C-alpha cells in the first residue's frame, strides 16, 4: 500500500542537487500513526521503502502563463505542479493564441508571472493558498 501526506504540510527551501531522498523517521512514524488510527488492522505495520521528491509550487499554487514584463519576447508556462500535464493542452492552446495574435482573455492574462510583482495572487480552495 502506498501511503503519504497531502496538505497541510510544511514547505522548506531545498537544494535540488542535494536533498534527502528518503522519508525521515519522524514522518514515517506520523504516517503510521495516522494509518493505524484510520484502519486499525494496520497496527504494527512496517515500512518497506520510502522516498522523498521535490514538488515545486508557485506562491499561490496557480501556474505562471504568459509573457514577463522584464524579459522581452518571452512567454512561458510553468509551475503547474502535479496537475500541469492535465491542463497543458488547454493552456497551450490559449498561450499559442496569445503569442500569435496578441489577444488574450483578461482571466487568462491574470496567470502571468507578473502577478507576483503587482500583488495579484490567487486564493484558492486547495493547496497552501487557501483563502
List the grid coordinates of 82: 502535479
Task: Write out the DSSP string of 27-69.
Answer: HHHHHHHHHHHHSGGGTT--------------TTSS-EEEEET
> What are the pLDDT digits (tens) for 70-82?
899 999 999 887 7
Q: What is the pLDDT of residue 89?
A: 94
> What are the pLDDT digits (tens) for 37-72?
999 999 999 889 888 888 777 888 889 999 998 899
Coil, strand, or helix at residue 73? Answer: strand
User: How long a stretch of residues is the chain?
Assistant: 131
- Whether the pTM exceeds 0.75: the reply is no
> What are the pLDDT digits (tens) for 14-43?
898 999 898 889 989 998 999 999 999 999
Which stretches of the chain are assigned E, i.e. beta strand?
64-68, 71-78
Q: What is the pLDDT of residue 105?
A: 93
Boundaries of every domain in the chain: 1-55, 64-123
Amino acid at each position: 500500500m502506498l501511503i503519504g501526506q497531502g496538505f497541510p504540510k510544511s514547505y522548506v527551501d531545498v537544494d535540488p542537487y542535494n536533498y534527502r531522498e528518503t522519508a525521515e523517521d519522524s514522518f514515517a512514524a506520523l504516517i503510521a500513526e495516522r494509518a493505524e488510527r484510520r484502519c486499525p488492522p494496520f497496527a504494527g505495520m512496517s515500512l518497506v521503502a520510502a522516498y522523498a521528491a521535490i514538488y515545486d509550487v508557485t506562491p499561490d499554487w496557480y501556474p505562471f502563463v504568459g509573457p514577463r514584463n522584464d524579459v522581452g519576447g518571452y512567454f512561458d508556462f510553468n509551475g503547474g505542479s502535479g496537475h500541469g500535464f492535465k491542463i497543458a493542452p488547454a493552456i497551450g492552446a490559449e498561450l499559442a493564441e496569445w503569442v500569435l495574435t496578441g489577444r488574450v482573455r483578461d482571466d487568462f492574462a491574470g496567470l502571468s508571472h507578473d502577478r507576483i510583482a503587482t500583488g495579484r495572487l490567487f486564493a484558492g480552495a486547495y493547496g497552501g493558498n487557501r483563502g
